[in-house]
């Protein structure tokens, strides 16, 4: 089984859940059978600044939690506002990676399902 934290998997998840909101704060929505919660955090100092987006994706049935994961995007900038680092990472906290991959394959755009 390939790792969930690969860029391709992260991009697939982001394209499936399609964040419908902009701005800072907490946002909730449901799509393709999963519950999504997005938190955005920001800090601006004299020498650097950063923004974090934490996307919590959770698939549950009426009786149990199937799987859940956190997808974190970090934006780091220098004192001029120039981006010095942007990274994304994923951490699954419940369920099996194979279940997440199955959900991705089932909910991927039809043109991408073959790949």
Is 51 part of a structural domain of the chain? yes
Q: Render pLDDT for 7-32 as a digit per residue (tens, 0 to 9).
A: 999 999 999 998 666 665 568 999 99
Q: State the Cα–Cα distance between residues 45 and 77, nearest whole angstrom.
A: 10
Is 90 part of a structural domain of the chain? yes
Q: Render pLDDT for 67-100 as a digit per residue (tens, 0 to 9).
A: 999 999 999 999 999 999 999 999 999 999 999 9
Cα diameter, the chain:
51
Query: Treating both helix axes as pointing N-terminal to C-terminal, what angle do 7-17 and 97-107 enclose, rounded to 10 degrees?
Result: 50
Is 114 part of a structural domain of the chain? no
**pTM to 2 decimal places:** 0.83
Q: Which structural domain range is residue 75 located in?
A: 7-108
Is 24 part of a structural domain of the chain? yes
Q: How many domains does the chain have?
A: 1
> Are 56 and 41 in contact, with CB atoms under 8 Å apart?
no
Is 1 part of a structural domain of the chain? no
């Amino acid at each position: 089984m390939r790792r969930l934290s690969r860029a391709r998997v992260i991009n697939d998840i982001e394209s499936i859940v399609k964040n419908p909101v902009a701005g800072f704060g907490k946002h909730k929505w449901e799509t393709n059978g999963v519950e999504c919660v997005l938190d955005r955090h920001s800090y601006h100092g004299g020498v650097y600044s950063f923004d974090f987006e934490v996307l919590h994706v959770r698939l549950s049935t009426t009786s149990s939690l199937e799987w859940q994961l956190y997808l974190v995007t970090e934006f780091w900038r220098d004192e001029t506002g120039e981006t010095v680092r942007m990274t994304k990472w994923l951490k699954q906290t419940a369920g099996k990676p194979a279940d997440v991959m199955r959900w991705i394959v089932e909910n991927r755009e039809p043109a991408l399902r073959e790949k």
